[in-house]
Structures are given as structure tokens and as C-alpha cells.
Amino acid sequence: MTDAAAPLTVIVLAAGEGTRMRSSRPKVLHEIAGRSMLRWVLASAEALAPQRIVVVIGPDHAPVAAAAKPHETVIQADRRGTGHAVQTALDAADVRAGSVLVLFADVPLVPAPIMAALVEAGARGLAVLGFEAAEPGRYGRLVMGAAGLERIVEAADADAETLALGLCNSGLMAGDAAAMRRWLSAVQPTNAQGEYYLTDCVALARAEGRAVPVITAAEADVHGVNTRAQLAAAEALAQARLRQAAMAAGATLIDPASTFFSYDTKLGRDVVVGPSVVFLPQVVVEDEVEIRAFSHLEGCTVARGAIIGPFARLRPGAVIGAGAHVGNFVELKAATLGAGAKANHLAYLGDADIGAGANIGAGTITCNYDGFFKHRTVIGAGAFIGSNSALVAPVTIGDGALVGAGSTIVRDVPADAAAIARGEQIVRQGAAARIRERKRRQKEAR
């Protein structure tokens, strides 16, 4: 909070139906980099340490209320404009003093420092966040005068001279709670939309002789989302930020444009990420890891010096030890691969604990699901699992044990033991030639 003497209330407007998204999901719950737009806004607001955050939602928006927790929600039963929404929140939460910051859940990428500057500028009256738009057409215009901002005119209500202005309204506003309550009570729906506009507070503040400062932000910071195309554009903006942050922190991205991060991806120093790597939420990668091309990571931890991929998949609960190798077309789920262990080719390791230095041969699978329950496989340190082996859980392979290629292991293998479980090989001399001759005659007979 910028001023300890003035409690801050943040109001997040999230009641819109989002009909242009053509979705059964509320608009503000659509995700950018693995996090809903609403949670992006709430995370930035939380960084200001406000006294309270109030989220305005529509009726029958229980999923939005759940996503807003632990913050309180207020239902805007009748959607009568932004001014009505803010007034509804102020009344329901009985906010009468301190500062108020108004945010929009479909404007998800506003950085917390810009929010803080807006709160500070509006602490004793009212302040507006503006931006210079490359194509200002649909945005409300900020009409400036000798004393600063004079009024905000929505595009639908603007004349040609006003539409020629390039300074646009982001929608975000901050001000004194008592003053905002007074101005909102005087707002009237005398506009093309027949709504109560929050922006009318500017003209009311100016009528009282108050200056209304404008804080400016980059257009990318105030990108709004109303359509799927705009959601994709917001994703691109978020990814650009995340890529720059990763590289600034010491990671190498071979092809940044094809690397996709989640909002919470954590990469250590000297991590090298190959092309077309995807990070879903809850991934932690320590220093000096190499993640090769086309790998897919989610809910996993990769320790220092490990090598992942190419074409590897780490699913939730995978923990890769220091210096371990996970190779091409290897998938791990709820599995620990110990330090220095290797699974270099074509393996599925689910619900498994694999000891340090173990070697998992190509084509090995842990048969972890019996159709009803999941079971764990334990492979000891230094064990060697031959290619094309099936380990039927629950089963334990002891330290230093050896499993012969092509085995199906259904019972525990003691430490340093060798286990081979496959059918006996039978060789019949000349049988191949006889089979070919028989098949040739059958084919001719047809």
C-alpha cells in the first residue's frame, strides 16, 4: 500500500458475460500462460497489500466467485455500466474512506508498479490511467485541457474532433473513496448506451475544481480481452514478458519465439532450453540443466545438471535428480529419477522411485495401474533394467539388481540379483522355408 494512513480498497470488475468469446466459461476465467485473467489481475493487486479486494461478479457466476477466493465478491444483478458496478461494490462493502483502485478482470497484464503509481496519483481526488493507442478507434478518448484531464468521451459518444485524439482511456481509475461515492451518486445514464459510466466521474471532479492527473502506460500493459483473437494477443504479450525475464535471469533460449512458459515457471542460471519446449504450471528447473527440443514439462522439478529430451514428457509429480538423463520419448509421472540415473529411450515410468545411477533400458514400462488402483515400482540404486521390460507394480527391484531384456517382472528382485522372465527360445531348423512355401501355395490356390 502506497500510504499506510489511507487504507486501499481494490475493486475488480468481473461481471461481464463475454458473449464475444462464444464460450460456456466466464470470460475472466480464460487463461493466459496457465493462469486465468482474473488471477492475473488479483496477483498484481495483491502485490499492493491492499486492505481488501472486492470482486464484482454477475449472477450465476459461482465459478468466478470460487476463483476470486479468498477475496470477497459482490453480485451486480443488473449490468448497468461500470459506474453502477463500482457503486454496487462500494455500497455492498461499505467503503467510505481511504483510496479506491478500480481494475478490470479482462485487462489482465497491468503491472503492479503502474497500479501503485495510479493509486498514489489519485489519493487526494481522482486519477486515470491512459495510453497512446496505435489504432484508437474503439477506445474512449482522454480530452486534455490547460489544467489536465477535462473529461473522458466514449467512442460511441464522440464527435469527429474527439475521435482524432490519440490518448485513450484504459478504464483503470483510482481516487478518494468518499469523493468517488459522491460523484457516482450524481452520474446519469445520458449516453448512447444508456449506462452509468464510471468515466463521468472525471467531469464531476473537474466541476468541483479538482485536477485529474493522467498516468500513462504502454498499450501492451493495458491490452483488453473481449474475443478469442484478443486472448491470443494477450498470450503473446505475456509470453514475450516471460521469455525476456527468463533470459535476463540467466537462461538461454535457443528459439525464444517457440518456447512457451507458464506464469510461475522457474529457471535457474545457465539453463539451456531448445526449440519448441512447453512449460505448463508448477515447473522448477535448477541451474545448468539442458532441456532439448520438443519437450513438455508440467508440475515437475529438475535438479542441477540434468538433461531432458528431446521429445521428453515430464508430468506432475516428476522429480529428476542431479545429473540424471531423460531421453527421447520418455515419459515420467509421479516418479523420482535419482541422481545420475538414466532413461534415455522410449520408456514410461509412472508412480516409481528410481535410485541413483540406475539405468532404464529402451521400451521399459512400469505397469502402475490395474484398472482400479495405482501401484508403485521401486528400482534401487545402480540397478540395470534391460530393454523392453515390463515391471508390474507393486514391485521392488533391489540395489544393483539386473533385469534381462524382454522380461515381465511380477515379483520382487533382491539386491544384486539377476532376473530373467521371458519365454524359452525355440529354434526349428528349416521351418522358415517350409512356411514360405506353404504360404506361396495357398496364395496361388486363391
- As annotated, the active-site residues are 345
**Number of other CB atoms surrounding residue 370 within 10 Å:** 11
CA 149, CA 21: separation in Å to the nearest integer?
33
All three cell numbers of 353, joined, read: 522411485
CA 361, CA 404: separation in Å to the nearest integer?
10
- For residue 396, which amino acid is it? T
Task: Give, as one character, the DSSP assignment of residue 423.
Answer: P
CA 109, CA 111: separation in Å to the nearest integer?
6
- For residue 62, which amino acid is it? A
CA 46, CA 108: separation in Å to the nearest integer?
13
331: helix, strand or coil: strand
Secondary-structure percent of the chain, ordered helix, strand, coil, rounded to 5: 25, 30, 45
List the one residue out of 144, 130, 126, 118 whose CA is nearest residue 183. 126
Q: Are strands 99-104 and 167-176 parallel, antiparallel or unpaired?
A: antiparallel
